[in-house]
Amino acid sequence: MADHAILAGKRVLLVIAGGIAAYKCLELIRRLRERGASVRAVMTAAAARFVTPLSVQALTEDTVYQDMWSLTDESEMGHIRLSREADLLVVAPATADLLARMAAGMADDLPATVLLATDKPVLVAPAMNVRMWQHAATQANLALLESRGVWRVGPNEGAMACNEYGPGRMAEPMEIVDAIARILAGDLRKPLAGRRAVVTSGPTHEPIDPVRYIANRSSGRQGHAIAAALAQLGAEVTLVSGPTRLPDPPGCTVRHIETAREMLAACEAALPADIAVCAAAVADWHVAGPSDRKLKKDGGGPPALELAENPDILATLSAPGGRRPALVIGFAAETGDVLAYATAKRARKGCDWIVANDVSPGTGTFGGSDNTVHLIRADAVESWPTMTKEAVAARLAEAAAAYFERI
C-alpha cells in the first residue's frame, strides 16, 4: 500500500471526466488527503452531472475549476499555472472521449487545455463500457498516449453500470493511490525492468545476384512497434531488423541485417534473453549459389536457381536448452485457415505463444497500419479486435509483462 511519507506534501491535480465512475473520485480525494497530499480538482461539464462540484470542493477544501472562460479563475489561477503547480496530474475517470482528445492534442475545454499545457507526469485511470474499451480507436489512442509517457492504472474487469461484464471498470481508489505513490517515488511503471528481449522485424533479402533478391512483403512496422512497446515497459531490447524504411525505435539496440542467416546469428549473439519475439517475415529459402555478377538475358531462357532452406529462427530460439528465452513468441502470417495453421505451427516450432494474422490480399496487413490478430497459447486463444499495429504491440507487451508477474 502507498507509503504516507511519499505522498505527504505532494500536490495532485485531479481531472474528473464525465462517467459513472466519477463517484469514486470522492473516495480517491479522501484517501490522498489522509496521506498528506493536497488535491486540486478540474472537472468537465459532463463530470458535474455525476458528482457535484460542491462535494468535490468540500473534500479538497480548494476551488474546483470548470470553466476556461471564467475571468475570476483565470485572474487567480491561469490554466498554465494550474497545470504546472502540481507534482502529478491524475485523470480519473479517464473516459474514451477525454483520452481521444488528449491523443489528438485538443484544448477545447479547461481539462483538455490543462492536460496539454502540463510538463508534469500524467496518470490516467480509464473507465468506460467494455466495447468502447476494446474498440480499435480507444486502443490506438491509449497506445499513442503511452508512447508519449502517459501512465495508466486499470481498467479492471467486472460488472458495469450498463449491465455488461468485462474490462472497463475504473481502478479502485486505493489502486490509484498506490500508482500515484509509485510514480512520485520514481518507481514508474516498468514491469519488464531488468528483463532482456530480442525482437526480429521486417523482411530478409536473399541475394540472387548483386541487384536481385528473394524477399517477403513485410514493412517491419509490427516488429518495430513491439520492440518499442517492450522498451516502454522497461525491457532492454535488441531489435534485429531486416531492410525497412522505418526509423530505429527509441530505447532499443538495433542490429541491421539482410539475410536470414545473418538474422539468426544476430539473435544468437543477443542471448541470453528473457523474451524473444519473432515478428520478422523471414524468407524460407535462399539461392544456394548466388552469382557475383548481374545475371543477363542471353536468349537461353531464365536461369535455373537452386534453392536451399534457410535456418528456422523461431524453432532454433524455442529449442530446449540453457539459452532458451523464458517466453518465445512467434508470428504466423497466413492466407487461409489462420487458426488451424497457426496452432499447428506453435506446436511444431516449440514456442510458447503464436500471434496469428491474416495477410490475404485485400486485408492490407502487409505494409498497412492496422492488424487483426489471434494470440494462441497452449491452453487458450484470444481473438483481438482490429487495431493499429502500435496498439497490438502495446497489448502484446502488457501480456508479456503479466506472464512474468505470474511466474
Please count the other Cβ atoms lying within 10 Å of the Cβ belonging to residue 217.
11
* Nearest partner of 252 among 276, 273, 236, judged by Cα: 236
The answer to whether residue 149 scores a pLDDT higher than 50 is yes
Mean pLDDT value of segment 172-198: 83
Query: Which residue ranges make up the annotated binding site for CTP?
Result: 284, 294, 311-314, 331, 345, 349
The structural domains of the chain, ordered by start, are 4-184 (3.40.50.1950), 196-406 (3.40.50.10300)
Mean pLDDT value of segment 291-308: 88
Tell me the three cell numbers of residue 206: 536473399
Sheet with 252-256: strands ordered across: 252-256, 236-241, 196-201, 275-278, 327-334, 353-358, 373-376, 381-383
The answer to whether residue 272 scores a pLDDT higher than 70 is yes
Mean pLDDT estimate for the chain: 87
The answer to whether residue 46 scores a pLDDT higher than 50 is yes
- Grade residue 363 by pLDDT with cuts at 50, 70 and 90: low
Our answer to whether residue 162 is catalytic in this structure is: yes
pLDDT given at position 73: 58
Q: Which of 162, 252, 267, 351 is catalytic?
A: 162
* Residues 369 and 205 sit within 8 Å (Cβ to Cβ): no
Instruction: Find out whether the peptide bond into 311 is cis, omega within 30 degrees of 0.
Output: no
The answer to whether residue 47 scores a pLDDT higher than 80 is yes
DSSP letters for 374-405:
EEE-SS-EEEPPPEEHHHHHHHHHHHHHHHHH
Q: Which residue has the higher pLDDT, 158 or 245?
A: 245
Q: Which residue has the higher pLDDT, 27 or 366?
A: 27
pLDDT given at position 100: 95
Q: Contacts from 244-250 at CB under 8 Å and sequence distance 24+? A: 244/201, 244/202, 244/203, 244/218, 244/219, 244/220, 245/219, 246/202, 246/219, 246/220, 246/221, 249/224, 249/225
Structural element, H or E, at residue 317: helix 313-318
- Grade residue 24 by pLDDT with cuts at 50, 70 and 90: very high
pTM beyond 0.85: no
Helices assigned H by DSSP within 206-298? 221-232, 260-270
User: pLDDT tens digits for 393-405?
Assistant: 888 998 999 899 8
User: pLDDT tens digits for 86-117?
Assistant: 899 999 999 999 999 999 999 888 999 999 98
Which of 58-62, 184-188, 345-349 tops mean pLDDT? 345-349
- Grade residue 2 by pLDDT with cuts at 50, 70 and 90: very low
